[in-house]
Amino acid sequence: MKFQAPKGVSEYYPPRSSAFELVRDELIAAAKVSGFSLIELPVFEDTELFTRGVGASTDVVTKEMYTFEDRGGRSITLRPEGTAGAMRAVIEHGLDKGQLPVKIWYSGQFFRAERPQAGRYRQFYQVGVEAIGLQDPEIDVEVIAAADRGFKNLGLKRYRLEITSLGDAASRSAHRKELDLFLAGLDLDEATRVRAQLNPLRLFDDKRDSIRSQMASAPLLLDFLTESSRSHFHKVQELLTELGIAFTINERMVRGLDYYTGTTFEFVHPDLGSQSGIGGGGRYDGLMGELGGADLSGIGYGIGVDRVLLACEAEGVFGAEKALDSLDLFLVPLGPATKRFGVVMMQGLRASGVKVDMAYGDRSLKGGMKAADRSGARFSLVIGDEESSSGQAQVKNMKTGEVQSIKIDPSDNYLQLSRFIFDSKVR
RNA sequence: GUGGGCGUAGCUCAGCUGGUAGAGCACUCGGUUGUGGUCCGAGAUGUCGCGGGUUCGAGCCCCGUCGCUCACCCCA
């Protein structure tokens, strides 16, 4: 029996894992620099949290949740998204009773039992933020800008931001009335009609030509916004423009989770295959109340790290992958005695923060140098009997090939060598 | 849940109208005394996804099955 990873999971192993790590850390860094604090959450929750929070009619809840019974007979679900769990924690620990807004970020694995496809996995990785307790359009823009900053810092260029407003409850019910009337006159198959009853907005996102052409003349929610919704959305656009964040209005944008209201947005990338969304989010006015907390509004996003990685690779924003987290130094010992010398030396260097590894096994000099090359280390250093006894060695710059004599002295923790390496890093 | 494509060496794949398996990359060693990348030489590696059938003979044909993948529904 040969074991295989479960269907539809993404795994990252060297060398690509360092690219994944970089993407994740950059997205997190953007959240942190925007003033969000970490909230560390469980990957499973009470099933009802999601049926109530995400919405019982959504596809996520009806057919995509990993749900099981734990030993105490409780129904448990692996989290399919982050906001519901974050709100639960905020309410449970009374963060909503402190100073507002509450600004938190999270990251980790999420789970949806779907048929896998390019960029769509059953276990996927997300970095998200939530800002709770403010109605101002400024906070909408701040959240969007935080996501945008992450993408920009990674060097992405070809992504696009799409925004819309789902309005307040009055806007939506006015629109729904018109939309239901319109849909009643369409030629739809049974499954689609059922879907339309649960949430008619979903039909805007259908990719089938027969539906698309019929929906072309459907009444748009944006045309039904109340005065306050309209003005909020307008301010969001103004501020985005002022910040130089390009966007397009997608009046047909649909999100898969029921809790979204008002400002809603999605970042899309053209090079990912069918799943073009790399991140998205929006405002959720009723969610906190629905989950038993104070009736506060919030806004947040979730960014798919797996997809952003694909986007980065499609755009070629990384250089050689092995350079991403490459070693500073690679030691090539000759013979057993110098191997011991090398192990001791590495500990000394690591203590001062030098990233160092060495050739193990009994490799020839050529083999050792080859290993040094493959490791991607910036410098190599051969240690034989001569070096260990004289305390003098040649550091070789692996890129330029130039060598330099340097003192290696255990008693000062190889100070000269580590200095040399750090100095060369600055350049 | 529905539909398409594909399963041959670690990876990417070739294998003509059936005659019992190959390339490139990667890997290891070497090209005479201690310096990698290029070049040259040598070497190791496969239950040709699995099960059954047709045939003197199946990687190739047929049936089934499992897996991967892409797309639809939907979504990060």
Q: Which nucleotide is nearest to A110 (CA to C1')?
A: B76
Does residue A320 register a pLDDT over 80?
no
What does residue A403 show for φ and ψ, rounded to 5 degrees? Answer: -115, 155
Does residue A44 register a pLDDT over 80?
yes
Clarify whether residues A278 and A370 are in a common domain.
no
Q: Which nucleotide is nearest to A397 (CA to C1')?
A: B36
Clarify whether residues A293 and A267 are in a common domain.
yes
Query: Alpha-carbon distance A427 to A422, whole Å?
Result: 9
The candidate with the shortest Cα–Cα distance to A55, out of A176, A179, A198, A168, is A198
Clarify whether residues A144 and A57 are in a common domain.
yes
Predicted pLDDT of residue A13: 87
Clarify whether residues A152 and A261 are in a common domain.
yes
Q: Is residue A161 part of a domain?
A: yes
pLDDT tens figures, A349-363: 999 999 999 998 778
pLDDT tens figures, A159-196: 999 999 999 999 999 998 998 888 888 877 777 787 78
Asked if residues A78 and A43 have their Cβ atoms less than 8 Å apart, the reply is: yes
Place of tokens 């923060």: A353
Q: Is residue A205 part of a domain?
A: no
Does residue A325 register a pLDDT over 80?
no
Place of tokens 């000062």: A412
Clarify whether residues A126 and A266 are in a common domain.
yes
Q: Which nucleotide is nearest to A374 (CA to C1')?
A: B36
Residue A318's contacts (CB-CB under 8 Å, 6 or more residues apart) are A19, A22, A312, A324
Predicted pLDDT of residue A393: 93
Q: Which of A315, A346, A373 finishes a domain? A: A315
pLDDT tens figures, A268-289: 999 888 889 999 999 999 899 9
Nucleotide B41 C1' to residue A107 CA (A): 52
The C-alpha angle A250, A256, A258, rounded to 5 degrees, equals: 105
Mean pLDDT, residues A14-21 taken together: 88
Q: How confident is the model at residue A321 (pLDDT cuts 50, 70, 90)?
A: very low
Nucleotide B9 C1' to residue A121 CA (A): 29
Q: Is residue A207 part of a domain?
A: no
pLDDT tens figures, A239-256: 999 999 999 999 888 887
Clarify whether residues A333 and A284 are in a common domain.
no
Clarify whether residues A343 and A422 are in a common domain.
yes
Clarify whether residues A346 and A304 are in a common domain.
no
Nucleotide B75 C1' to residue A233 CA (A): 25
pLDDT tens figures, A391-414: 999 999 998 899 999 999 989 889
CATH number for the domain that contains residue A295: 3.30.930.10
**Number of domains making up chain A:** 2
Q: Is residue A184 part of a domain?
A: no
Predicted pLDDT of residue A358: 92
Q: Which of A277, A293, A315 finishes a domain? A: A315
CATH number for the domain that contains residue A356: 3.40.50.800
Amino acid in the structure at residue A346: M
Q: Is residue A176 part of a domain?
A: no
pLDDT tens figures, A108-154: 999 999 889 999 999 999 999 999 999 999 999 999 999 999 999 99
Nucleotide B57 C1' to residue A56 CA (A): 61
Q: How confident is the model at residue A427 (pLDDT cuts 50, 70, 90)?
A: low
Q: Which of A283, A315, A347 finishes a domain? A: A315
Q: Is residue A183 part of a domain?
A: no
Q: Which nucleotides of B are covered by protein (CB under 7 A)?
A: 1-3, 27-31, 34-37, 67-76
Clarify whether residues A27 and A153 are in a common domain.
yes
Clarify whether residues A38 and A111 are in a common domain.
yes
Q: Is residue A343 part of a domain?
A: yes
Does residue A30 register a pLDDT over 90?
yes
Domain limits for position A381: 326-426
Clarify whether residues A308 and A331 are in a common domain.
no
Clarify whether residues A310 and A340 are in a common domain.
no
Residue A174's contacts (CB-CB under 8 Å, 6 or more residues apart) are A224, A226
